[in-house]
Amino acid sequence: MTQYKLFAACPVYLEDLLEEEILALGGSVEKRTRGGLSFSAPLDFIYRFSLRTRIAGHLLLNLCDFEMEGPEKLTEQISRFDWQSVMNETNTVSCRSTIKKSRLNQKMAALKLKDGIADYWREKTGSRPDVDRDDPDCHFQIHIEEDRKVQIYMDLSGDSLSNRGYRLDSGRAALRENTAAALLLRAGWNSISRKGSVFLDPMCGSGTILVEAAMIAGNLPAQLYRNHYAFLQWKDHDQDLWEDCTDEAEAEWKRGLDQIPRIFGYDQDRHAVAAATENIKRAGLEKHIHVEKRALADFVFIEAMEKAPGGLILTNPPYGQRIGDKGSLYSLYRELGDLARSEQFAQWQMSVISDDKALIKSIGLRSSRENRVMNGALSCFLVHYDLFSFKDQKKNGDRDKKDAREMEWSEEGRQFLNRLVKRRKHLKKWMKREDVSCYRLYDADLPNFNMAVDVYEEKWIHIQEYKAPSSVDSGKAEKRVEEARRILSALFEIPGHQVFLKQRRRQKGQDQYKVLSTRGERFLIRESGQRIWVNFSDYLDTGIFLDHRNIRRWILENSDEKSFLNLFSYTCTASLMAAAGGASRVVSVDSSKAYLNWGQDNFSLNKLDSRNYSFEKSDSFQYLRNCHDRFDLVFLDPPTFSNSKSRASVFDVQNDHAGLIHLCMKRLAPGGVLIFSNNYRQFVLDPELSEEYEIEEISSWTVSEDFKGKKNGHRCWFIRKGQMKE
């Protein structure tokens, strides 16, 4: 097994905590330096460490060490390294440097690293990789010491590991996540929490300490919410091993949630409370953390007295450096001391961080110990107080409620139920993080339940049964479907009439527009702040394609002051997002008057009533041929097959997409983007299109978590006008 030479960087004064993490995960530490540790470990350690570390900022792979022959020779020496062993020519790069006693400054050292990489590839292929300072594929770093020792690293983390992914609003002067975790570990929260004790931050700000406290108490993998690691572009990356490690981490997260004690946060600033509430929600921990607006001066923590005689107070009060006037802070620190001395906090401990010893002394308590810690660029003290000793607490009783899993089902039905429960738990954190209320729960995962199950607002279930082959006994298939309906009704605790069933088969001709029922019953759902009408009974589809939610969100965020054309617009949900995003003009084109009326109802529902929005009943080919306008954004999501009455021939997306795209590009304004998507599983994009246009497949991010690897996922491309090739 290959052993990689690694360096884990961390804030100063936290090296011992980082070493404990590395040793606990099976790494072998070779050298501890100021701000990090050198060690060796195999590939699976890199993945497990990246998912779990609470302290590290970056994980660096040591590529090579050498003696510098002189600043003028450095670029040439760098170009001698086999860069092909760690990256591809097409990867974008960024370069940074650290310097110790060198004639080169940081900017010049980073430039020489970039030039050395470029020279290597220019010599090998005749071209060079592009630099991308904002979002590169590969991050490289050079360290030079005394103009002699040179070390080159590949940053396997990319963005700092302190950015867990749950924090949108960090508030003013907020702690970094790894610093907050370090404070908790220094305060002994990892052992205190195992006693079931309560945690309290009376000045919680944006809630970073609260979230990290919950993660430590449950031993939850700290990095599970990160959506990108730089090692995904590394040549040695093993996707299968990575997926195994993430599955293991997700299982740990699920097990750990039950271990989290009660955690409370308060702040007198309503904006801070709002930010904390949102961050906690994104972390999927709102059931475990209570946040409330409350001033320290009138603080009465009844919860502590009534429910848990013991706990930890840890807080990061203002220092007077960035927030507040230092002269007025002495009374705040005295109030904190008065609070800690009150009877309600008998048997508790308290830790406070500040950069000013005078402020700390105004707390008026005798400290038991203290640590040094860096809060950004500020050198601070973390001071600990033993208020009272802890007492044993009674264990919580079993609070599990009876649910669908305790009911009688067939053996096949129980397998189906177990799959639903597992899938629902898997998607729960993602749904909260992305604010998703309608999602694909199941898609033919088990052979005996050949159906897709979509959940809407946790109130309605839409089942699409795939047509079974003639070899399957129709009676057995019908019983399975009926049991599936009852299982879903029990699992979601909704009445049976809120579970809708349809049979899904390949649509031919006008069948795609065929009315299945005439109930006309509509239901309101929400997406990205907009309200949308759906119908579960009258048509095969419900009025919204759930797998396109990421595309619609992109349109919402990128349509301000732009003209937008939506072809094969269906119920105009993409048009709705463009209008809500501030588009200057929105045109929706569809051959079905019923769907266009539905779209207009969606616009009215969201109070979007403007002359700048038009709904055109037309075949999309015909509209494009007759149209003379230009659009900044064009959304093209054609059906796989269609023989609309307005067309002389059947449309086949594989055979006809190139001609359709050419027509769209004629209507695209300079600098505009065509968003092309389809759901045909065997689809192959015409290679000649790439000779005329700039084409970028974006399916990796437009396909959201609930549709990854599923039967009815889509593929999607950005297509822009490019230079005609001779």
Quote the pLDDT of residue 172: 55
Reported confidence tier of residue 663, pLDDT bands at 50, 70, 90: very high
CB 359 within 8 A of CB 350: no
CATH number at residue 495: 3.30.750.80
With respect to residue 586, please indicate whether it lies within any of the assigned structural domains: yes
Reported confidence tier of residue 197, pLDDT bands at 50, 70, 90: confident
Quote the pLDDT of residue 387: 82
CB 332 within 8 A of CB 292: no
| In the chain, % of residues over pLDDT 90 | 65
CATH number at residue 86: 3.30.2130.30
pLDDT digits (tens, 9 = 90+) for 399-410: 334 467 778 899
Residues 184 and 272 in one domain: yes
Quote the pLDDT of residue 146: 87
With respect to residue 81, please indicate whether it lies within any of the assigned structural domains: yes
pLDDT digits (tens, 9 = 90+) for 465-480: 987 776 777 778 888 8
Last residue of a domain, one of 470, 505, 540: 505
* Secondary structure string (H, E, C) spanning 490-551: HHCCCCHHHEEEEEECCCCHHHHHCCCCCCCCCEEEEECCEEEEECCCCCCCCCCCHHHHHH
pLDDT digits (tens, 9 = 90+) for 21-30: 998 888 888 8
With respect to residue 550, please indicate whether it lies within any of the assigned structural domains: yes
Can you tell me the mean pLDDT for 153-175? 82
Reported confidence tier of residue 634, pLDDT bands at 50, 70, 90: very high
Task: Indicate if the pLDDT at residue 645 is higher than 80.
Answer: no
Burial 585-612 (b: 16+ CB within 10 A, else e): bbbbbbbbeebbebbbebbeeeebeeee
Residues 266 and 318 in one domain: yes
pLDDT digits (tens, 9 = 90+) for 518-560: 445 678 899 999 999 999 888 888 999 999 999 999 999 999 9
Quote the pLDDT of residue 510: 42
Residues 567 and 624 in one domain: yes
Reported confidence tier of residue 398, pLDDT bands at 50, 70, 90: very low
What is the pLDDT of the chain when averaged over all its residues? 87
Residues 569 and 676 in one domain: yes
Q: Which tokens is 310 given?
A: 């013991």
CB 308 within 8 A of CB 196: yes
pLDDT digits (tens, 9 = 90+) for 107-163: 999 999 999 999 999 999 999 999 998 889 999 999 999 888 999 999 999 989 999
With respect to residue 391, please indicate whether it lies within any of the assigned structural domains: no
The Cα-based distances of 209 to 150, 262, 263, 264 in angstroms read 38, 14, 10, 10
Last residue of a domain, one of 505, 538, 554: 505
| In the chain, % of residues over pLDDT 70 | 89
pLDDT digits (tens, 9 = 90+) for 576-611: 999 999 999 999 999 999 999 999 999 988 888 767
**Number of domains present in the structure of the chain:** 4
Quote the pLDDT of residue 300: 63
Q: Which of 263-272, 444-453, 567-576 has the highest mean pLDDT?
A: 567-576
* Measured distance CA(680)–CA(703) in Å, rounded: 14
Reported confidence tier of residue 715, pLDDT bands at 50, 70, 90: very high
Lowest mean per-residue pLDDT among 242-251, 457-466, 514-523:
514-523
Task: Indicate if the pLDDT at residue 331 is higher than 90.
Answer: no
Q: Which tokens is 32 given?
A: 């501890």
pLDDT digits (tens, 9 = 90+) for 482-528: 999 999 999 998 878 789 998 765 444 444 444 555 445 678 899 99
Residues 353 and 484 in one domain: no
Task: Indicate if the pLDDT at residue 382 is higher than 60.
Answer: yes
469 exposure class (CB count in 10 Å sphere: 0-12, 13-18, 19+)? exposed
* Measured distance CA(426)–CA(366) in Å, rounded: 47
Task: Indicate if the pLDDT at residue 170 is higher than 60.
Answer: no
With respect to residue 308, please indicate whether it lies within any of the assigned structural domains: yes
* Measured distance CA(372)–CA(381) in Å, rounded: 5
Task: Indicate if the pLDDT at residue 654 is higher than 50.
Answer: yes
Residues 185 and 109 in one domain: no
With respect to residue 163, please indicate whether it lies within any of the assigned structural domains: no
Residues 431 and 488 in one domain: yes
Residues 584 and 653 in one domain: yes
Quote the pLDDT of residue 343: 74
What pairs with residue 62 in β-bridges? 153
The Cα-based distances of 511 to 224, 228, 514, 522, 642 in angstroms read 44, 42, 5, 21, 9
Residues 584 and 611 in one domain: yes
Last residue of a domain, one of 352, 386, 420: 386
With respect to residue 223, please indicate whether it lies within any of the assigned structural domains: no
More confident site: 303 or 468: 468
CATH number at residue 265: 3.40.50.150
Residues 595 and 500 in one domain: no
Give the end-to-end CA distance of the chain in Å, rounded to a whole number. Answer: 50
Task: Indicate if the pLDDT at residue 366 is higher than 50.
Answer: yes
Lowest mean per-residue pLDDT among 190-194, 297-301, 451-455, 627-631:
297-301
pLDDT digits (tens, 9 = 90+) for 312-324: 999 999 886 544 4
Task: Indicate if the pLDDT at residue 689 is higher than 80.
Answer: yes
Quote the pLDDT of residue 302: 54
Residues 150 and 19 in one domain: yes
Residues 46 and 185 in one domain: no
User: Which residues, 6 or more positions from 510, have their beta carbon under 8 angstroms from its beta carbon?
Assistant: 643, 644, 645
Quote the pLDDT of residue 305: 46
Quote the pLDDT of residue 327: 58
Which range marks the domain in which residue 201 is found? 177-218+260-386
With respect to residue 226, please indicate whether it lies within any of the assigned structural domains: no
Reported confidence tier of residue 712, pLDDT bands at 50, 70, 90: low
Reported confidence tier of residue 299, pLDDT bands at 50, 70, 90: low
Handedness of CA 455, 456, 460, 463 (dihedral sign): negative
